[in-house]
Structure 1
């Protein structure tokens, strides 16, 4: 991981680093990045999200598993941007979660601030700490692991 200052990834970089697209792309913008140290991104939660139709009618709450997915995608950006070489034809696959805690419901109108830190690598496996906040209050946290693998191996 290089200590060189890099510009913040924009939406085109996000599309390059993550294979996700609507309606499953859960990161709107990167707002802070320090290679190998921290990546902070946002997800604007709107009533237009397709999952709110059924979760729950009359009481829209963002599913915890999608908050976790947003944290995992933030981790993918963190690792993808922190490596000295581009991912190329490799993909970042979420492989595990530990110490997951959901602290507060996320509802339409909230802005999730997603932070990944403490990246550690062993071979092609990465581990990191992730957190989601709304208005400065922690809504979820987890220890995440993922593997960087060749796309052709899938």
Structure 2
């Protein structure tokens, strides 16, 4: 059985493809899920891909990842900039974490420049649209392989 990478998506990401396509592009969440499945499979991993508009549910999924996932990719949406609860859950997680954002958060409103998630993440990928998820899977797989070898 392949190891699992858990991918968590925060609030409003269920609206991808229709919400502000000039910022987030035209891909839907289902399109991103399919991209992630293909990329992970090519690298020998399975994906658990989830989205929630509820902070507590995301925190519970992070806690679950501690026991069930080889690694974690998080696009926390607006919770990136506000959630200490999510940060605390991520900090308690011993698996490697990659933060991903579809848009370049540093080219947006100043309040989006601060990320609580980054403190727990091994790295951050932003501004590449859906490709960012594939890059995050590749980075996570490389990090896991290095940890196994080292």
Relative to the length of structure 1, the TM-score reads 0.27
- Say which one has the larger Rg: 1
- Higher strand proportion, which one? 1
Relative to the length of structure 2, the TM-score reads 0.28
- Higher helix proportion, which one? 2
